[in-house]
Amino acid sequence: MNNGNYKFGFAQSQQAKDEAVGTLLASLDWAVYSFSSQRYLLGICPRKADLRLFMTLIPFDEVYIVHLKTNEEMIEDYPNLRNYLREIYQIPEVKKAISM
Average pLDDT taken over every residue of the chain: 84
- Residue range 8-16: mean pLDDT, rounded: 84
Q: Which domains, ranges and CATH numbers included, belong to the chain? A: 4-97 (1.20.1050.10)
Q: How many angstroms separate the Cα of 100 from the Cα of each of 3, 54, 96, 97? A: 21, 13, 11, 10
CA 3 vs. chain centroid, Å, equals 10
- Gyration radius of the chain over CA positions: 14
How high is the pLDDT of residue 17?
Answer: 83
Q: pLDDT over 70 for what percent of the chain? A: 85
Give the separation between CA 42 and CA 26, rounded to whole angstroms.
Answer: 18
pTM value surpassing 0.85: no
